[in-house]
Amino acid sequence: MTMRTPRTILLCLCTLLLTPLAFAQNAPAASAPARAATAVAPARKLTVGVKVAPPFVIRDGDHYRGLAIDLWEEVAADHGWKFQYKSYDLEGLLNAVQSHQVDVGLGAITATAQREQRMDFAHPITSSGLGVAVRNQSGSGWLAVAQALVSPAFLSVIGTLIVLLLAVGLLVWSLEHKHNPEQFGGTRAQGIFSGFWWAMVTMTTVGYGDTAPRTVPGRLLGMVWMLAALMVVSFFTASITSALTVGQLSNRIRTADDLSHVRVASIAGSTSGQWLQRNQDSFVHADSLDDALERLAAGKVDAVVYDAPLLRWQINQQFSGLRVLPLRLERQDYAFALPDNSPLREQIDTSLLQRINAPDWNQRLKKYFGPDRP
């Protein structure tokens, strides 16, 4: 009996020691994101990268506002997070998120498959798409014609034609005025006007016969000008027709395929620029959205492709003569950008879903996007 007692005690002790270990081995392991989420220190000051992109992020002096800013500050208040903003351009912000230099990236950031390989995204804030901006239609009937006749494009064509006719008229006057004073004589102004008249009559093939060169150099010039005028008339007829019908351009863009027939501008490196590279041979590279819209307003391009919400916002602020067509080229989901395995993701998603599903969410979207909200 005395021998068994120590063995019994030893067996009981081993059982007590091994039982917790067996339970630990059989218990399900906590997932990496769950363990990461529990490691968040509420008192840690977060760095929030921002890219100004109205109406998601709007710079107002030393402060920021906008849909993404409002949502983030409400999320941070929910969890008691302290933070500081740091400004970037788009590619700089994406690189900062990827390298964990910032905890959250805010802006008009679209969640794409290519970017998903570099970082994570929170639940989308809203969905929209790539839009197409064009000039407003000039009108119809005689008013449209009158507006076209004083448009910069039409006046530029007419001005170039007048300069060309003056150059030819001056050249024929210089060859003829000494040997043909009856038709190219008089004062210098009278002689040059006679040359201008001859150049126009010859170009239009009217052929009045009241003015004609008599010298050999003058007639050689006339032969060259007759042949050249055939091409000049064709070129200027096409240019004038284009200038007069440019106001009807928006009627010509009904589908994405129609963009291949017009001059399109966008920003290289943006999602719209990448879409155009995949679907078009070429496009005009603008430095910024303002630059692209200014080119459109001036008639240097026929359309601008960019994020529809940003197009509407910028046009409403500065470009009353432009509008966004009811055409969506590609769906885009806008979201907060997060580093891989971010411990903030679950808390951010929870707060965002509470607000997106709230009754006043549509009113919040209308506040920043207007009646044509995404």
Q: What is the CATH number of the domain that holds 231?
A: 1.10.287.70
Q: Which of 225, 246, 267 delimits the end of a domain?
A: 246
Summarize the confidence of residues 299-310 as an average pLDDT: 91
What's the structural domain count of the chain? 3
Tokens of 81: 């997070």
Q: Which of 246, 275, 302 delimits the end of a domain?
A: 246
Residue in 358, 333, 324 with CA at minimum distance from that of residue 56: 333
- Predicted confidence (pLDDT) per residue in 322-366, tens digit: 999 888 888 889 999 999 999 999 999 999 999 999 999 988 888
Which pTM was predicted? 0.56
Q: Which of 209, 225, 246 delimits the end of a domain?
A: 246
In the chain, the amino acid numbered 206 is: V
> Is residue 284 one of the residues assigned to a domain?
yes
Cβ(292)–Cβ(306) below 8 Å: yes
Strand partners, 127: 333
- Which pLDDT belongs to residue 26? 47
> Is residue 374 one of the residues assigned to a domain?
no
Q: Are residues 162 and 189 in the same domain?
A: yes
> Is residue 29 one of the residues assigned to a domain?
no
> Is residue 287 one of the residues assigned to a domain?
yes
Q: Are residues 255 and 242 in the same domain?
A: no
- Which pLDDT belongs to residue 177? 85
* pLDDT(31) > 50: no
Contacts 24+ apart (CB under 8 A), 38-41: 39/343, 40/343, 40/344, 40/347
Q: Which domain holds residue 233?
A: 142-246
Cβ(267)–Cβ(286) below 8 Å: yes
Q: Are residues 116 and 154 in the same domain?
A: no
> Is residue 13 one of the residues assigned to a domain?
no
Q: Are residues 165 and 239 in the same domain?
A: yes
**For the chain, how big is the Rg over CA atoms in Å?**
36
CATH code where residue 84 lies: 3.40.190.10
- Predicted confidence (pLDDT) per residue in 126-180, tens digit: 888 899 999 986 544 455 556 666 767 778 888 888 999 999 999 999 998 888 8
Percent of the chain predicted with pLDDT > 70? 79
> Is residue 110 one of the residues assigned to a domain?
yes
- 């200027």: which residue's tokens? 236
Q: Which of 43-57, 227-241, 338-352 has the lowest mean pLDDT?
A: 227-241
Mean pLDDT computed over every residue of the chain: 82
Q: Are residues 152 and 87 in the same domain?
A: no
Q: Which of 89-98, 161-170, 178-187 has the lowest mean pLDDT?
A: 178-187
- Which pLDDT belongs to residue 118? 92
Q: Are residues 341 and 319 in the same domain?
A: no
